[in-house]
Amino acid sequence: MTISTFKIANKLITGDGATSELRNETARLGITKPLIVTDHIIQQTGMLDQIQKNLEGLTVGVFLGVKPEPEFYVVEECRQMFHEGDHDGLIAIGGGSAIDTAKAVSAYAKYEGALTDLVGTDRVEEKGYPLIVIPTTAGTGSEVTNISILSDKKEQVKKGVVSDYLLPDVAIVSPEMTLTMPAGVTAASGIDALVHAIEAYISVHASPITDALAIGAMKMIAVNLPKAYANPNNVEAREQMATASLMAGMAFGNAGVGAVHALAYPLGGRFNIPHGVSNALLLPYVMEWNKIACLERFRDVAAALGEKVDDATDNEAAEKAIKAMSRLCKAVRIPDGLKELGIKESDLDGMAEDASKIDRLLKNNPRLLHKADILEIYQAAYKGGESHALEK
């Protein structure tokens, strides 16, 4: 066993009604003037009012400017409000966009230079302001990871601020916060969590701890995502999905993700396609590419997804894993091909060029990829259901 480290949020609070602990946590962290970081949709659902009731007696500010796939200017605007309101802590309520924005502001609010200085790994020099995160989607795992992903529209790519100082002080994971998720968001975020689990399991940096979390998350998602998608008010399925997303986040936050995420980044950076949709669409095609490098691991994935593999060869079991993944995506109506998303075939070469530069993620992948390989995967994904084959 090689040496590995394991990092998560400083404190996890989970279970139905867990948000009732928010006031105790702000007191413990010495937060008296929190800035809530969220968006107008969360406000419209009434969840913001619910959270604010738990903060009576504090001077609370609200930043509603979070956007999907947040750009650098969103962090700048939030930081300005943080300083103008003389706030002393942050509470993120929402999906990965809100949590990533708050993570970046927590660090950036103590930094006097440019936000772009913090892009990269370990460029944040000190712990930021106290941060509590409350996810409203079951997918990103951002509540337990040390990275904030931001969109650079000028360069049409996504960039990461990566530092252990970005790990939240508290993550409150409560299933009632996910009940208002639309079916499409439930599907995309749920498959996103499954991508996190699978990529963590086949990562070259996987460990016995991340393996256990990843396999556990896969089993829970395979059973509960269809239920949560079919009936948004199924609280038990929502709770299972929230827990599975958390477990997948802990797995990939330590083992890393690979080619699926690297290939998904240009879809968000160039075409504003939601991260979860990008990951979900690309996963079967990248799995096909990767299987030759980790057949035994794909056997485990197949079993976790409910496939019978006792009498199957490793190659047959790997094929079952890919087909099971494709069926699940189809069941929750994930688009089948890049063509469905309005991407042109002429765009693929530029996308492959962008993805080939994301070494931070590609180095975690079990099989080496060059630009030509990435282009081939994109071409298969462009055709969609016409071809899942990338045999080599």
Give the residue extent of every domain in the chain.
Answer: 12-178, 183-386
Fold of 12-178: Rossmann fold (3.40.50)
pLDDT in tens, 17-46: 999 999 999 999 999 999 999 999 999 999
Alpha helices in 21-167 (DSSP H): 22-29, 40-45, 47-53, 72-84, 96-108
Phi, psi angles (nearest 5°) of residue 256: 90, 165
Residue 112: per-residue pLDDT: 93
Residue 268: per-residue pLDDT: 86
Model confidence at 16, pLDDT cuts 50, 70, 90, reads: confident
As a whole number of angstroms, the distance between CA 282 and CA 322 comes to 11
* 358 pLDDT more than 90: yes
pLDDT in tens, 127-158: 999 999 999 999 889 999 999 999 888 887 88
Residue 385: per-residue pLDDT: 58
Q: For the domain covering 183-386, report its CATH number.
A: 1.20.1090.10
Tokens encoding 256: 């890393």
Residue 391: per-residue pLDDT: 42
- CB burial of 102-126 (b: ≥16 within 10 Å; e: otherwise) equals bbbbbbbbebeeebeebbeeebbee
Name which of 3, 2, 28 is nearest 13 in CA terms: 28
Same fold, 12-178 and 183-386: no
The mean pLDDT value for 361-384 works out to: 95
Strand extents, DSSP E, the chain: 12-14, 34-37, 61-63, 89-94, 120-121, 131-135, 147-152, 157-162, 170-173
pLDDT in tens, 206-237: 999 999 999 999 999 999 999 999 998 999 99
pLDDT in tens, 243-294: 999 999 999 999 999 999 999 999 988 888 888 889 989 999 999 999 999 9
